[in-house]
Structure formats: C-alpha cells, structure tokens
Amino acid sequence: MAHAHTVKRYTGLMDWLTTVDHKKIGILYLIGGGLFFLLGGLEAILIRIQLMYPQNDFLDASTYNQVLTMHGTTMIFLAVMPIIFAFMNAIIPLQIGARDVAYPFVNAVGFWMFFLGGLLLNVSWFFNGAPDAGWTSYVPLANNEYSGKGVDFYVLGLQIAGIGTLAGGINFLVTIINMRAPGMTFMRMPLFTWTSFITSALILFAFPAITVGLVLLMFERLFSANYFDVAAGGNIVLWQHIFWIFGHPEVYILILPAFGIISEIVSTFARKRLFGYSAMVFATALIGFLGFMVWVHHMFTTGLGPIGNAIFSIATMLIAIPTGIKIFNWIFTMWGGQYSFNTASLFAAGFIPTFVMGGVTGVMLAAPAADWQYHDSYFVVAHFHYVIVGGLVFGLLAGLHYWWPKMFGRMLNETIGKFSFWTFFIGFHMTFLVQHFLGLWGMPRRIFTFLENQGLDELNFISTIGALLMGVSTIAILVNIAVTQMKPRNAPADPWDGRTLEWSIPSPAPEYNFKQIPLVRGLDALFKEKIEGKKEMTPAEPLGPIHMPSPSILPFTMSIGLFIAGFGFMYARWDFDNGFLDAIFGHYIVAGAGLLITLVSMLLRSVFDDHGYHIEVEELEKEVHA
C-alpha cells in the first residue's frame, strides 16, 4: 500500500537550485555549458582578430596567452563536456525506459561542482589575471616562476569541476547497468546510450589521472613541493605523461557520444535501422580501449626513443580501423535509405566528411618522423579542430536540433536552422582548412603574432573571416532559440517518426518519464511496435504509484563551500597589503570555512532521512485525460 510522504516542491529560482530531476539537470547543463561555449567562442574570435593581420597589436602577448589558455580550457572542460552531459541527462533515462538516473542527488552534485568550478576558473579574469600556461599547463611553464596566479585558478577550478564530471560518469555507469527497462538487453540499447556508457567508463579511468596531476601541481604551486623541479630531483616529463594519460582518452570521452548522436540521427532520417549495429558497439568499445594505449603520441618529440615511438605510433594508427568501420556503417545506413534533410540531419551528414578529414591528418601525425615536422605548428591546430569542432561540435549541434522538441516541447525553426548549418559548415572549413597549409608553411602554434610577407598573411585573413562566419551561425542559433521560445509549446511526442523510447512519451517528458515502464521487444523498441501497427509501447507493469526523490539545496551548498575553499587556498599566502584581508585569508581561515560548509552539507545529507514522495495513481490518470 502506498504511503504518502510530504511533498516538497519549490518554484522559480529555488526550483532550479534544488532540482534533482534528470531532465531539469540536463537543461541546467545545457545552459551552463552553452554560456561557457559562448565565452570560449568569444575568446576564439579574439584570438582570430589578433591573428587577422601580421604584427597586429589588438591583444598584447600576455593577454593573448591568457585568452588562448582560457579558450582551450573553457571549450574542453566547461563547454563541450557539459553539453554532452546535458544530452546524457536529458535523454539516456528516456532511451532505456527509466524514471530517473540511479543517484538523482549525486547528479545534482555533479552539475553544481562543474558549474562552480567553471565559475572559479573564470573569475580569474578579475583577480590577478587568467591562467596563461596553455590548456595543457606544461611544467615548468606552469610553475610559479614562469606563470601568473591564474594557474592556481586552473588547478583548483578544474579540480572542483573534475569532481563533478567523475560523479556524473559514475552515475551514468550505474544507471545504464541497473535501470534498463525489462527486455532492454545490452545489445538492444540505442547507440547514444552505448557510446555514453563507454564514455562514462573512460571518465572513470581517465579523470583520476588528471586529479592526481592537478594535486601534484597544486602542491608544487601552493606548498612549494618539488615533483616537477628538475634542480630538486623532480621530472618535467612526468607531468606530460600524467596529463596525456588523461588527455588522450579525454578526446574519446568527447567524441564517442557525438558518434552516438550521429548514429541515432542517421538511422532516424534514413528511415532504416543502423547498419552493422553490433559492429558499431564493438568498434566503440575498441576505440575506448585503444584510446588509453596511445597517449605517448603527444610526446613523440620529447625524445622517448625509437622503440617507444614505434609502439605508440602503431597503436595510434590501429584506432583508424574501428573508426573506419563506423564511418562505413553510417554511409551504408544512408545508402538506399530515404535520407531527408533538415537541420539535425544536415549537421549529421556534414559531420561525416569533416570528421574523416580530421582522422586522416591524425594518421599523418601518428607517424613520428612526420610529427617531428608538424609538431607545434598550425597543422596540429587544424587537425584537432577538425576532430573536435568538425566532429564533436557538429554532433552536438545535430543533437541539439534533434532533441530540442523532447527537451523543451517546442520545434526549432527550420529556416533559421538551415541558415545556421550552412554558415557554420562554410565558416568552419574556411577557418581550419587553410590552417593545414599555414602549418606546413611554417607557422608555429601558440604565437601571438607573425611577421608580414612570410606567405602567412592571406591565409590568416581567410581563417579569421571563417571564424566570424561561425560567429554569425552561433548568433543565428541563439535567435532561433529565442524565436522558438515565444511560440506555444506544441511539439508532438514523436516529430521525426523516431525509433527509440524517448519518442514514445510526450514532449517534454512528464516528471516521472514513463507512467508505466515499457516492455522492450527488440532493437529500436518503438519502431518495432510501430511496424506491428501499435502506436505506443506495451507496458511492463501495472499502473501504480510512482516514487520520486525530494529536491534538495545541499548539492548547491556543497559546491559553494568548495568554491569558497578554492579562494581560501589560493590566497592563503598572498600579501594583500590590507590587514583585514590578510587576516581572514591567512591561517587558511577562508579555506577552512569553505570546507566546513561542504562538510556540514554532507553531514546533513547523511543524518536526515528523506524518503521522497509518491505520485498517486489518481494523479497519473488525471494527467492522461488532461
């Protein structure tokens, strides 16, 4: 018999600060990641304006270093990762027929840690300057001697954001293993769920490495340890190994979910089941595994010797095999299908050739002798932007247009959408295609200006125009969102004639997702029902009360505590020339106060039992007939 608990419900801002609903957290991730994406994009434009003309003085060298570092760091950690998490949150529970993620509270903790860690990183602009040692923070450049206070913000901001990512990754592993609807075997899981599953596993193994690295760098900078100080017996190559043991898998953490999104969209709009489903699954797993075996290709030029270089070169090239399998399977899915073009499917189609070009230059870079030439030139910049923007960002934009109706209950405008696709596509290739040649012709990366008449003038100019065109596209996307937001909320449950479970429930999904958990009878569960003439899923359980978790402010306060503690640690030994500030920051008082807020929040979470609440059957039935 159902027992009613008191229902805690908040409205307005409090609703968002306390929510533990995966769909709302998905929206929060989209807003947070979206804002950082705009910031990182603005930084990219500043970089490109500085490089528009030779010997330009739009930015000085030191500001340039900060903008460059923050562009890379923001894009990787604070923009594209959270947007991936936005889709994982919004869609995975729906795709596997679940009511929520396994740990809704931890899910909220993950979001707030990311957001406040990212905020900490970015407030550095207003305190003694932003990080300036590159997104890789190589030592000794990142040591106190050579870099500014900003690197402390990098170390602590990323540490806090990293806790959030790790928590999110673990949550999705458990969710996907434990919460699948009856009949949803692993080999019936949609590809987006599969790739997110492997990505979560990669997060679990890769993030501890960067955490350890950041702790070492923190000790080095804040407490004068000597891990990387050669004069004191430290080793600088150690940082590179730790960083790239994390950093290379990170690239796959980013790209695999995009592969999943592309798979969903290609098969939906080709109106065919995905070609080679099981090969796709195994290729994903293989890419994930090999992703950990190749980090040394970032260090070919550090002088590891021919044997090491050869092994890692071959391992790197092997990744082209499963990746090639995926590319061919997408093409075979489209082949003979009736591929229809709208904004989402255009981004998905544009992804394929663009990503392939990034893959080809990747294989070129994987040959150590050739890498000796390309290393630290604009060729590398072109390569990784083809992969990361041409692959991942195309995938995210495809997903955005595809799932927008499910997340917000409104259909985006197709005309503006197609305009944003074409400006983005053309702008992207204009920006980055020419950078291959800039690199081959000798332009080094991470420089704030170049001399005129070295053969670099025209292509740099073209590259900047392309970047501005991508800016136009971004504005068009924002306009599209604003226009759409003013329309009524009338998106159908299944606007694309979809194949997977998220399209079997209303748009946007009700707070409990599925009134009754569905019974899954095959791959493309919804489509299977449709071809048998049914309009909805067969339920796997009788209608009954649904148990929901209570909202809570504690994830937010926990993260606020760490945010404050971050400041405390950074400025504990700082000389403020101000007695009051010196007194409260000295002796780690602010640091302690911040940690206390976090610990008390954790304590409150463990001592107060909160059993959540129920949505009763009467209420569920009411909503159906409404």
Binding residues for ligand HEM, rule: CB under 6 A, are: 41, 44, 47-48, 68-69, 71-72, 75-76, 80, 134-135, 381, 385, 388-389, 393, 431, 445-446, 467, 470
Report what 248 binds from ligand HEM, Cu ion, none; CB cut-off 5-8 Å by kind. Answer: Cu ion
Is 221 one of the binding residues for Cu ion (CB under 5 A)?
no
Q: How far apart are CA 399 and CA 346, in angstroms?
A: 11
Stretch touching Cu ion by CB under 5 A, among 194-202, 241-249, 558-566, 617-625: 241-249
Smallest gap from Cβ 136 to ligand HEM, in A, equals 6
With CB atoms as reference, the residue minimizing the distance to Cu ion is 248
Terminal CA-CA length for the chain? 26
**Looking at beta carbons, which residue is closest to ligand HEM?**
72
Least Å distance between CB 48 and ligand HEM?
5
- C-alpha distances (whole Å) from 195 to each of 46, 172, 378, 511 are 34, 11, 31, 25
- C-alpha count within 13 angstroms, C-beta hemisphere, residue 581: 8
Find the helix or strand (DSSP H, E) in which 547 lies.
strand 546-548
Q: Which is nearer to Cu ion, 22 or 248 (CB)?
A: 248
Interface segment toward Cu ion; rule CB under 5 A; list 107-115, 242-250, 376-384, 463-471: 242-250
Rule CB under 5 A: say whether 383 interacts with Cu ion. Answer: no
Check binding of 515 to Cu ion (CB under 5 A): no
To the nearest whole angstrom, how small is the minimum distance from the Cβ of residue 14 to ligand HEM?
33
Regarding beta strands 546-548 and 613-615, do their DSSP bridges make them parallel or antiparallel, or are they unpaired?
Answer: antiparallel
The interface partner of residue 487, options being Cu ion, ligand HEM, none and the CB cut-off 5 to 8 Å by kind, is: none
CA distances from 613 to 7, 400, 507, 549, 619 (A): 6, 32, 24, 6, 13
Residue 361 touches which of ligand HEM, Cu ion, none (Cβ within 5-8 Å per kind): none
Closest distance between ligand HEM and the C-beta of residue 76, in Å? 5
194: left (phi over 0), alpha (psi -120 to 50) or beta: alpha
- Tell me phi and psi for residue 487, to 5 degrees: -85, 165
Q: Smallest distance, Å, CB 369 to ligand HEM?
A: 22
CB of 205 to ligand HEM, least distance (A): 21
Question: What is the C-alpha to C-alpha distance for residues 453 and 88, in angstroms, rounded to an integer?
Answer: 49
Our CB check for ligand HEM shows the closer of 107 and 431 to be 431
Q: Is 241 in the site for Cu ion (CB under 5 A)?
A: no
Cα separation, 190 vs 184, in Å, equals 10
Query: How many other C-beta atoms lie within 10 A of the C-beta of residue 238?
Result: 14
Instruction: Give me the DSSP letters along 97-146.
Output: T-SS-S-HHHHHHHHHHHHHHHHHHHHGGGTT----STTTT-TTTTSTTT
Out of ligand HEM, Cu ion, none, what residue 75 binds, judged by CB under 5 to 8 A for its kind, is ligand HEM
412 touches, from Cu ion, ligand HEM, none (C-beta below 5 to 8 Å by class): none
Smallest separation (angstroms) from ligand HEM to the CB of 299? 15
Whether residue 464 contacts residue 481, with contact meaning beta carbons closer than 8 Å, is answered with no
Cis peptide, bond prior to residue 93, ω within 30 of zero: no
Q: State the minimum distance, in angstroms, from the CB of residue 73 to ligand HEM.
A: 7
Choose the one of ligand HEM, Cu ion, none that binds residue 388, judging by a C-beta under 5 to 8 angstroms depending on kind.
ligand HEM
Among 99, 248, 383, 429, binds Cu ion (CB under 5 A): 248
* Size of site (CB under 5 A) for Cu ion: 1
Burial of 369 (0-12, 13-18, 19+ CB in 10 A): exposed
Give which of Cu ion, ligand HEM, none residue 190 binds (C-beta under 5 to 8 Å, depending on kind). none
Q: How far is the CB of 470 from ligand HEM (least distance, A)?
A: 5
331/194 Cα distance (integer angstroms): 20
The C-alpha atoms of residue 101 and residue 23 are separated, in whole angstroms, by 10
350 binds, among Cu ion, ligand HEM, none (CB under 5 to 8 A by kind): none
